[in-house]
Structure 1
């Protein structure tokens, strides 16, 4: 059964099999076989003889004829499940679907057809990702879900979060469903809990939830129901019947309660310890039990004396092991094993459903060290370490002495080897110097021999030339014809010029010049292969730093001819204006 609707002496029932009318002790089915599951009954505003009901697969219309209700038809144009439906002030019917979103419907005049459907999805509601449930609060349609409560302003076209309702719900614990009763109180359901916003005379609300904490996890999830009898009494549908709430019942929800350690035992020991809270105070621990290291496994159980049946949460803390209390949980047993030796204190505290925290209960115990960490073992370790250190000291000193002795012997051997090495090196150096000196003397001797040979040849050639000139002059003295004298003098002058410009003399000069400037002529010819021999000679004289006058004497030409030849050489070498010819040749 999903819904009941009472009017005068007629009761309408929405059921999984359809809609039924109950009058007295008679029951009559209203819907046909094609209509399954009637969720609700909503009267058509402005027409008291019509009721619209949401079904598993759309909407259907009922009409009142006389004193009885009759099934009129299924409403065409909308086929979605319509569990939650409400009218707005403009005559639109709003429908919220479990997961498809929200719909706004407009009907024909006879309400047999939906003429306009406007769908809204989750994204149309700001900051919302959850399913929304429709309800009517203070005459307006309200949409609630896990992300907040939303409304559509009268003149607006987009949904907004309603701060007036959301302000009552902290930490984002927004209600899944809201229901307003006839006294303007707003009942809200959140997951497995329920509460009420009690309407006050000044138009505000007071949030009340403590009296309903005992109903947690007892409501029918997804089908929560509250029926308000009057201002002081309400009935809730729970899994095994009904729960009655009366506001007249006064109860102290902050009443303290006690937590107890029911048992503390080592898993290998038969002795069990317990600590309890009494009305007059906490039981004092008189003995701190000691446990051998090998029996280092414990189980502790605890509970609280809170008799209202609500879930109790516990938090534990083992001083000497934990950094602080554990998170709240319903676990009532905790185990420890492989603890290090020392004194430990176990603490447990409890929290009831009303937020009241019990005073912690404590229990201390000691884990003894293993034999190899006892004081006697540590004294033995100390003596053993001292003995080892003495032995090591003697052995190390002996090894140091031997090492020093060996090091001295090695040092002596190295000294002798170095001395011998220095002697050999000195001999080798002396031999190298003698060899280099001999090679230099040999080179100088060869050079001198070549120079002597060249000078000798040159002397011979000059002597021969002078002999020839002498003979020519003698013959010239016997000539009486002046015309023959001119011819003989001209021939003699040509012979002297030839001797001055003799190529053999250049070859001798080139040889001596190459010995001093070995790479110059090779590099000059490689860079400028089109130079004539005369231009090569001029370049060599410039390289030697000779003046134009000295070059003119050697080449048997005038100084002006030398300047002209230098100008032509600049052009062949490609030297730009402003660049020095001597500097360029000096870099080659």
Structure 2
């Protein structure tokens, strides 16, 4: 039963091997030294997330590469990262020296490390290297030398053994190898044997397990070769060359994009085998690797193969559209010429001539063996041409004919550039050859070429074209275009064409559809034989305008291949109109000035390069539609990493690049110079990518397409912006635009707080102004009131002054009246005194007369008259009149005095009145009808009644009443 199973497996492998493509072409190798990625020399493991970003377990931690820039994320203990895996939760799990954990983005999109060691018990926290990280059934398994840790649901379970040597997932099973070299599988939380250990060689060590089919696994061992695991049976794979591979120590393995198996060794580089174990190709340091110690292998999403080396990282670009190969075992030779002749492909290089058999079935080149050097053809080969069914070689040392892998000398004159028949009917009897010195002519007799004596020695004739039997054109890149006319046995006629004939700096000459085309510095020109002038070719000018073209070649499908400024391009005529497609993957890889393009079939075009040759399949190239999503890798204030505000991840690792609405970053106005970095991960062919950007809110239009992957904006005004970015390939495939929104805060003087402060200040200012205005109003009111009061006061003073003046005038008037009254009173009093004196005198005289008169009658009359004169009634009435006027003049003096001193008699009142009138005692006496002495006595009595002290003047007292 076991033998039948083994036979079935071997039969399967033989069938599968028949399907494998043979070939000697090798992937293009891109080297990244530790100086390129600025980290440790050794890389132990490689993985890729959904967005295309690559991650490397490196001596200095975690490396990330987006196709443009590298970033290093050291581990906390600065130890070596040995293994890496992106889990189903999109976390980057890391195994390192005495450390295990994972990286995940923070809120600003920066990867941060989270250790899982705190979940271990103290007894399990010390371990050596974690060599493998494997996701399985929702959990993560970490393998160290003597433990396997199972992490899930924030818990870690440990599986102990003296040594765990290998762990991997194959065909849905988690398998491992322990120290007893048993192959175990993980089932229901325990490890159970898969096969009988006796079926495996003694002390074998598995280094990799690769699925071949749904029920078979390829087991790779370090020193014992390859084994096929099917069900419970394991069998060795025996194939020529595998022993050699096993001797190089197979340390790692991966499935390449073409379905072959890549075996990384510690001594011999990478070996590729098919499913039957047949060795297909070997790539080592001689083919471009930095060194032969391959620590890990990884196939990315673009079908490329990555190699983690003992010193550096290498990338093998698996491009089915562009295949790179070398003519010899060394890769230093440059490709100058090629030809497909007699089912063999000949390559002329800087080191010599090489040949290999090919298969051209289905219009595609398939190489079935390696190139071998043609004997006696070492050195610089310039040209290979077929003339009259003969293969001719232009060599630095002369002209040769190649006959079944051997060469025969035709002409020793050095430096032959080209060979052309002079006649259109083949076999042509005459052949012209261009060399360092000019033109050489050969005669063909049906069997061989013989050198003729006729020749044209004038300049180096590298670019030659034949126009009929008698005209040869030779273009010199600097001097112009020569026309050589053959005149029988006479010396050839030579004419030089230049600016006069319409040429603007001749570069190269090419035949095209029976036309003579001249590639100049100003575009493509064609020759007009009728006028012997040159004019721009209408059809090609539509594509090239006035650009300088270095090379032109039409293939069997009508496509026109060309070289412009060290870039290979083609006018694709598949649509009938023509469209230019550039091949930037070959930029700066062609031999500048000696470009070579050879359409071998309708699909394959062979291109010479500085290192070997490139086989370009245009149809396959046009079908390249892979374009990984464009990612925003960095946003910073300026270019400093210390001012990073976005680290390249909007959510989990590998998630879609969609910015959450709650993560719109606000940037201070003083930091309004923003730096963006973006990339669409494209490895090995990133030259065919171009980028465009637009800052919404600042830019008006999308930028021109360029290969620039960063953009700086400076002095952005305040506001909200959205940075948009996109990529496209040289085939016109355009990515969706990514976006990143941010806002620039207004300056402090224009912020909301500032506006609030402004409103507050304005309110306070308005309030203060109101208060000031109110105070000012009150002050003005007060001032006005004071002014009014002052004016009123002044008016009052004026009034009072006027009134006083009026009073004064009135008083003066009153005083005058009083004075006048007093004068009148005094006059009246004097008159009364005089009257009293007169009456007294008359009375005295009458009395004296009476004494003398004796008659009774007259006597009676006289008595009556005396009596009348003596009556006091009239005197009393006159006093009352006097008192009345006196009180008016002296403010009721007598009334006040009577009120104050009611004991005063009428005569005393009269005395007071007379004293008030300042009458003398002598003047008062007659008025009172008393003597002067009586007046003085009356004054004395009056003082006593008034109770006046001695020192008080009686007059002053009476004035004061």
- Check the 8 A contact 2:691/2:708 in 1, yes or no: yes
**What residue in structure 2 maps to residue 299 of structure 1?**
675
Indicate how the Cα distance of structure 1 residues 194 and 110 shifts in structure 2: closer, same or farther if over 3 A, else same: farther
Q: SS of the residue aligned with 1:159?
A: strand
- Check the 8 A contact 1:56/1:83 in 2, yes or no: yes
Instruction: Choose which of 454, 464, 469 in structure 2 pairs with 1:85.
Output: 464
Instruction: Choose which of 403, 416, 423 in structure 2 pairs with 1:23.
Output: 403
1:260-291 CA-partner distances (Å, limit 9, x unpaired): 10122344445534357999965242311223
**What residue in structure 2 maps to residue 129 of structure 1?**
504
**What residue in structure 2 maps to residue 118 of structure 1?**
495
- Check the 8 A contact 1:300/1:334 in 2, yes or no: yes
Q: Which deviates more, 355-364 or 373-382?
A: 373-382
Whole-angstrom CA distance in 2 between matches of 1:309 and 1:273: 22
Q: Residue 42 in 1 paired to residue 426 in 2?
A: no
Indicate how the Cα distance of structure 1 residues 335 and 212 shifts in structure 2: closer, same or farther if over 3 A, else same: closer
Q: Residue 232 in 1 paired to residue 603 in 2?
A: yes
1:8-27 CA-partner distances (Å, limit 9, x unpaired): 78532212333233334443
**What residue in structure 2 maps to residue 573 of structure 1?**
none
Instruction: Choose which of 706, 715, 723 in structure 2 pairs with 1:329.
Output: 706
**What residue in structure 1 maps to residue 434 of structure 2?**
54
**What residue in structure 1 maps to residue 665 of structure 2?**
289
Instruction: Describe how 1:449-464 pairs up with structure 2 within 5 A.
Output: none
- Cα displacement (A) at 1:73: 4.6
Instruction: Choose which of 384, 389, 392 in structure 2 pairs with 1:12.
Output: 392
Indicate how the Cα distance of structure 1 residues 3 and 365 shifts in structure 2: closer, same or farther if over 3 A, else same: same
- Check the 8 A contact 1:194/1:216 in 2, yes or no: no
Whole-angstrom CA distance in 1 between matches of 2:705 and 2:739: 17
- Cα displacement (A) at 1:98: 0.3
Instruction: Describe how 1:352-363 pairs up with structure 2 within 5 A.
Output: 352-363=729-740
**What residue in structure 2 maps to residue 2 of structure 1?**
382
Structure number with higher helix proportion = 1
**What residue in structure 1 maps to residue 728 of structure 2?**
351
1:538-571 CA-partner distances (Å, limit 9, x unpaired): xxxxxxxxxxxxxxxxxxxxxxxxxxxxxxxxxx
1:460-480 CA-partner distances (Å, limit 9, x unpaired): xxxxxxxxxxxxxxxxxxxxx
Q: SS of the residue aligned with 1:326?
A: coil
Instruction: Describe how 1:267-278 pairs up with structure 2 within 5 A.
Output: 267=640, 268-269=642-643, 272-274=646-648
Indicate how the Cα distance of structure 1 residues 57 and 305 shifts in structure 2: closer, same or farther if over 3 A, else same: same
- Cα displacement (A) at 1:4: 0.9
**What residue in structure 2 maps to residue 141 of structure 1?**
516
Whole-angstrom CA distance in 1 between matches of 2:753 and 2:579: 66
Indicate how the Cα distance of structure 1 residues 351 and 56 shifts in structure 2: closer, same or farther if over 3 A, else same: same
- Cα displacement (A) at 1:250: 7.8
Indicate how the Cα distance of structure 1 residues 255 and 271 shifts in structure 2: closer, same or farther if over 3 A, else same: closer
Q: SS of the residue aligned with 1:2?
A: strand
1:14-73 CA-partner distances (Å, limit 9, x unpaired): 1233323333444344434xx442211122327834322112332223344674444445
Instruction: Choose which of 564, 586, 611 in structure 2 pairs with 1:190.
Output: 564
Whole-angstrom CA distance in 2 between matches of 1:241 and 1:68: 32
Indicate how the Cα distance of structure 1 residues 165 and 290 shifts in structure 2: closer, same or farther if over 3 A, else same: closer
**What residue in structure 1 maps to residue 144 of structure 2?**
none
Indicate how the Cα distance of structure 1 residues 199 and 248 shifts in structure 2: closer, same or farther if over 3 A, else same: closer
Instruction: Choose which of 184, 206, 219 in structure 1 pairs with 2:590.
Output: 219
Whole-angstrom CA distance in 1 between matches of 2:635 and 2:400: 62
Q: Residue 245 in 1 paired to residue 616 in 2?
A: yes
Ranges in structure 2 where 5+ consecutive residues have no aligned partner: 1-380, 781-961
Q: How many pairs are equivalent?
A: 385
- Check the 8 A contact 1:193/1:217 in 2, yes or no: no
Indicate how the Cα distance of structure 1 residues 66 and 92 shifts in structure 2: closer, same or farther if over 3 A, else same: closer
Indicate how the Cα distance of structure 1 residues 181 and 91 shifts in structure 2: closer, same or farther if over 3 A, else same: farther
1:442-471 CA-partner distances (Å, limit 9, x unpaired): xxxxxxxxxxxxxxxxxxxxxxxxxxxxxx
Instruction: Describe how 1:278-427 pairs up with structure 2 within 5 A.
Output: 282-286=657-661, 287-307=663-683, 308-381=685-758, 387=765, 390=769
- Cα displacement (A) at 1:92: 0.8
Q: Which deviates more, 6-15 or 94-103?
A: 6-15
Whole-angstrom CA distance in 2 between matches of 1:153 and 1:333: 50
Q: SS of the residue aligned with 1:349?
A: strand
Q: SS of the residue aligned with 2:418?
A: coil
1:290-343 CA-partner distances (Å, limit 9, x unpaired): 233444454321101445443322222223333433332222122344433332
Indicate how the Cα distance of structure 1 residues 230 and 332 shifts in structure 2: closer, same or farther if over 3 A, else same: closer
Q: SS of the residue aligned with 2:754?
A: helix
Indicate how the Cα distance of structure 1 residues 342 and 196 shifts in structure 2: closer, same or farther if over 3 A, else same: closer
Indicate how the Cα distance of structure 1 residues 374 and 134 shifts in structure 2: closer, same or farther if over 3 A, else same: closer
Indicate how the Cα distance of structure 1 residues 2 and 199 shifts in structure 2: closer, same or farther if over 3 A, else same: farther
- Check the 8 A contact 1:194/1:215 in 2, yes or no: no
Indicate how the Cα distance of structure 1 residues 220 and 375 shifts in structure 2: closer, same or farther if over 3 A, else same: same
Normalising by structure 2, what TM-score? 0.36
Q: SS of the residue aligned with 1:155?
A: coil
Structure number with higher strand proportion = 2
Whole-angstrom CA distance in 2 between matches of 1:363 and 1:183: 46
Q: Residue 156 in 1 paired to residue 534 in 2?
A: no
Greater RCO between the two (CA within 8 Å, min separation 6)? 2
Whole-angstrom CA distance in 1 between matches of 2:686 and 2:700: 32
- Cα displacement (A) at 1:374: 3.1
- Check the 8 A contact 2:596/2:608 in 1, yes or no: yes
Indicate how the Cα distance of structure 1 residues 140 and 301 shifts in structure 2: closer, same or farther if over 3 A, else same: closer
Whole-angstrom CA distance in 1 between matches of 2:384 and 2:596: 12
**What residue in structure 1 maps to residue 23 of structure 2?**
none
- Cα displacement (A) at 1:348: 1.2
**What residue in structure 1 maps to residue 476 of structure 2?**
97
Q: SS of the residue aligned with 1:358?
A: coil
**What residue in structure 1 maps to residue 632 of structure 2?**
261
Indicate how the Cα distance of structure 1 residues 367 and 27 shifts in structure 2: closer, same or farther if over 3 A, else same: same
Indicate how the Cα distance of structure 1 residues 120 and 303 shifts in structure 2: closer, same or farther if over 3 A, else same: same
Whole-angstrom CA distance in 2 between matches of 1:96 and 1:329: 36
Ranges in structure 1 where 5+ consecutive residues have no aligned partner: 402-588
- Check the 8 A contact 1:146/1:172 in 2, yes or no: yes
- Check the 8 A contact 1:15/1:37 in 2, yes or no: yes
**What residue in structure 1 maps to residue 93 of structure 2?**
none
Indicate how the Cα distance of structure 1 residues 381 and 74 shifts in structure 2: closer, same or farther if over 3 A, else same: farther
Instruction: Give the greater-gyration-radius structure (CA).
Output: 2
Indicate how the Cα distance of structure 1 residues 232 and 283 shifts in structure 2: closer, same or farther if over 3 A, else same: same
